[in-house]
Amino acid sequence: MYFHKFAQKGSAFIKEVATELGYPDDLSRAVRVTKAVLHALRDRISPAESVQLIAQLPLYIKALYVDGWRITDRHTKVRNLADFLALVDRRGAGATDRDFYNEVDIRHAVTAVFNVLKRHVSEGEIEDIRQGMPRQLVDLF
């Protein structure tokens, strides 16, 4: 089996997030932040769109994305950027207390994860996700 290749791809994704965050050696932080942002995104987009997105992610990142997911849950209404940032903060559920000190930190984290997603997911899929987002959030993506 080629599990080590799957692990390498997921690890590379997390290292990219850590670098984007400005903490290239803090992979644990990058995992926590990535999970919080992906869960907020997952809560915002439709299950069908989620399935299309995760099909393009490395295996380990897929596992982060689906951790605790109930596909039948309704997606969360997000009217603006502040709503999404609050959702990321909630999805961090305490594990990110040391990662997010204020809204600026959350916004930076969202931008970091979105930048890495754009490098790993097709342009068409990114555009599909952007189409259903509030304008302020589209600007981050």
Domains of the chain are 3-140 (1.10.490.110)
Residue (of 102, 103, 101, 85) closest to 36 by Cα position: 85
Asked if 115 and 30 count as a contact pair (C-beta separation under 8 A), the reply is: no
Asked if 99 and 92 count as a contact pair (C-beta separation under 8 A), the reply is: yes
Query: What is the rounded average pLDDT for all residues in the chain?
Result: 87
Give every CB contact of residue 3 below 8 A, 6+ residues apart in sequence.
none
Model pLDDT for residues 27-69, shown as the tens digit of each residue: 999 999 999 999 999 988 889 999 999 999 999 999 999 998 9
Q: Which two three-digit tokens encode residue 61?
A: 């990142």
- Flag whether pLDDT at 26 surpasses 90: yes
In angstroms, the CA 85 to CA 39 distance is 12
Model pLDDT for residues 89-128, shown as the tens digit of each residue: 888 766 656 777 788 889 999 999 999 999 999 999 999 9
pTM for the whole thing?
0.90
In angstroms, the CA 123 to CA 127 distance is 6
